[in-house]
Amino acid sequence: MSADARTSILKPMSVAGNPDAPVDTRPSKFRRPHVTVRGLTKRFDDRTIYEKFDLDLPRGQFVSIFGPNGCGKSTLMNMIAGLIPVDEGQILFDGQTIDEIRFGYVFQNYRDALFPWISAWDNIAYPLRFMKVPKAERNRRVDALVKKFDVRINLKQYPYQMSGGQQQLVSILRALVVDPEILFLDEPFSALDYEMTLFMRDQMQRMFQETGTTTIIVSHDLDEAVYLADRILLLSRAPAKVVDFPIVDVPRPRNALTLADPEFNRVKGHCLEIFQQQVRK
Amino acid sequence: MKSKTLDRLRPFIGVVILIGIWQAIVTLKIVDPVLLPSPGKTFSAVYTGLFEQGRLAFDFGKTVERACMGIALATVIGVPVGVILGASENVYRSVEFIIDFFRSTPASAVFPLFLLLFGVGEITKVYISAFGASLAIIFNVAYGVMNARKTRVLAAKIMGAPPLQRMLVVLLESLPQTFIGLRMGATLALVLMITSEMLLGAIDGLGLRIFEEQQLFNMPGMYAAIFCSGLLGYTLNLFFFITERRFVHWAGR
C-alpha cells in the first residue's frame, strides 16, 4: 500500500460543510470507497438496464443519482439497497454485503411506508425491535434522536393524523434510528408541496451534517439533486453508464442564497448539459 | 349552544316524522286499521311481548343465539380460509370463480340441499347462515390480504422484521377489509336466519313469530316481531361499527 493511500484512509474525507477542509480532488482510486459495485448486470425481460457496471461511492458523502427517465436511477439504488436482486455482479459495503450492515431506507410514498396502527413514536422505534434492543433503550434512543434534530411534532399521534411533511420526517427518523452506515432516499420529497419540500431539504441537510452518514438520493429535481449533494452521479440512457460524477464544491449549510452561488450554478449547468445530451441521444 | 342541541337531536327528526305520518294514516283511516295498527298499539305489543307475556322475548333470544352461532362459525372458517387464499394470488385466482359463483347464488336457493344434508333441526339454520356469511367473509379477507400494501411489507422486511412479523403486517393491513366482510356477513347471516325460521319448519325464532302472527292476523304482534328483527340487525351493525372504530382506528385514513 502506498503512503498516499494510507494517509487517505487515516484522514477523514473532506466534508463540504467544513470550509477549512481541503476539497479532495485526488482521483477516486486513491480514496477508500464505502460502496463498491462490480460487474453489475441487470435485465428486465429483454431490456438491459445495466451491463458490467462498475461504481465506487465515497464514504460520508451525499450522492445524488440523476439521469434521464427510465435509465434505472431507482433500480440502481434499490439494487444497492438489496431491494431488487441483481442478475450478475457484486455490491459490497466495506467488503460486507447489505445483509451484514445497518442501513436506512426512505420510501417516496410515506403514506404506504409508515404503519398506521402504531403511533409515530412507535414507528420510529420499530426497526430497533429486531435488533434486540430492550424497550427502555428503544425509547431512550428515539428520545435522543428527536432531541438531536429538535423535532417539534406530537409523536404520540398516529401517522394519518399528521401532514405529509411530518409523516416523511417520521420516515426519515425511522431510517436514522438504527444509526445506519448508509442511508437511501427514494425521491423522498416528491409527494410534498413546494413549501414543505424546501423545509424538508434543509432538515435533511441538517441531519446529514450532524451524522455524516453516507447518503444516496434519487431525485427527479436537478435543483434538489445539486443542492443536497456532495457529488452527482450522472447516468446515461440504458444500458446505463456513469457519464460524469462531478463534485459540488459549495459550502454547507446551504440555503436560499446557495441557489445564486456561481459554483452551484456552474455545476447545475454542467449537469443539465449532460442530461440534455443524454435525453437527445 | 342551541345549535349543538339541535345537532344532537337531528338523527331523531326522521323517526319523529315517520311515526307522525304513521299515526296520521291510522287516525285518518287511510289504510284499514286491521292491517296497520297505531304506533302506540304496536309499541305496547313490543313491550308486552318482550317484558310481560307472550313468546316474543323467547323467540328473540333464540334468533340471537342462532345468528351469533352462525356468525361465529362463519368467522372461524372464513377468516383463516380468506387469509390462506389471499396469501397467494395464484391460489385465489384458481378458486375465485367458485367463490364468486356461490357468493352470487341466492343463499336461500340452497335451503333444500341443506335440509337434505343436515335435516330439519335448528343446527341446519346455523349452517345455512354460516354458509352465506362465510363466503362474504372469505371474499373480503382474501382481498384485504391480497391488497396489503407491498411497500409496507417491504418496509418491514428491510427493517429486519422476521417472516412472522411480516405476516402480522399483512394481517393488520387486511383488518379494515376483514371488518367490511364481517359486517356484510353478519347482516347476511341474520337475513338467512329469519328466512329459514319462516320457511324451514322452525319451532321458535323471530322468523317463526312474524309468520305465526301473520297467520293469526295479530297485526300488532307481527309488527312487534318485525321491529325486533330490525332492532337486532341494527344492533349487530352498530356492534361491528364500534368494534371497528375501536380496534381498526386507521381504517379509511
Q: Residue-wise pLDDT tens for chain A (281 aa)?
A: 344 433 333 333 333 334 444 444 544 445 567 999 999 999 998 889 999 999 999 999 999 999 888 888 999 999 999 999 999 999 999 989 998 999 999 999 988 999 999 999 999 999 999 998 999 999 999 999 999 888 888 999 999 999 988 999 999 999 999 999 999 999 999 888 888 888 889 989 998 998 899 999 999 899 999 999 999 999 998 888 999 999 999 998 999 889 899 999 999 999 999 999 888 87
For residue B163, the chain A residue with the least C-alpha distance is A130
Domain count, chain A: 1
CA distance B223 to chain A (A): 44
Q: Confirm whether A112 is domain-assigned.
A: yes
Chain A interface, best mutation among B158, B178, B253, by max A CB count within 10 A: B158
Nearest to B250 among A82, A83, A158 (CB): A158
Q: Tell me how far apart the alpha carbons of residues B53 and B46 are, in angstroms, rounded to a whole number.
A: 10
CB distance from B161 to chain A under 8 Å? yes
pLDDT at A199: 87
For residue B161, the chain A residue with the least C-alpha distance is A130
Q: Confirm whether A14 is domain-assigned.
A: no
Q: Confirm whether A11 is domain-assigned.
A: no
Whether the complex's predicted ipTM surpasses the cut of 0.95? no
Q: Confirm whether A241 is domain-assigned.
A: yes
Instruction: Output the nine-digit C-alpha cell for A268.
Output: 447545475
- How do beta strands A103-106 and A182-186 pair? parallel
Q: Confirm whether A10 is domain-assigned.
A: no
Q: Determine if the peptide bond prior to A116 is cis (ω within 30°).
A: no
Q: Tell me how far apart the alpha carbons of residues B238 and B126 are, in angstroms, rounded to a whole number.
A: 22
Question: Other C-beta atoms within 10 Å of A251: how many?
Answer: 13
Give the angle subtended at the CA of B125 by the CAs of B119 and B129, to the nearest 5°: 135
pLDDT at A91: 95
Instruction: Output the nine-digit C-alpha cell for B157.
Output: 422486511
DSSP A247: B
For residue A160, the chain B residue with the least C-alpha distance is B253
Q: Confirm whether B252 is domain-assigned.
A: no
CA distance A156 to chain B (A): 14
Nearest to A83 among B158, B160, B169 (CB): B158
Collapsing DSSP to helix, strand or coil, A170 comes out as helix
Give the structural domain span for A261: 30-280
Q: What is the pLDDT of residues B22-59, one digit of tens each?
A: 999 999 989 888 889 999 999 999 999 999 888 899 99
Domain count, chain B: 1
Q: Confirm whether B217 is domain-assigned.
A: yes
Q: Is A14:A204 a contact under the CB 8 Å cutoff? A: no
Q: Tell me how far apart the alpha carbons of residues A145 and A125 are, in angstroms, rounded to a whole number.
A: 10
Q: Of A265, A248, A178, which is closest to residue A213 (Cα–Cα)?
A: A178
Looking up residue B151, the CATH number of its domain turns out to be 1.10.3720.10
CB distance from B162 to chain A under 8 Å? yes
Cβ distance B161 to A117 less than 8 Å, yes or no, reads no
pLDDT at B253: 76
Q: Is B117 exposed, middle or buried (0-12, 13-18, 19+ CB in 10 A)?
A: exposed
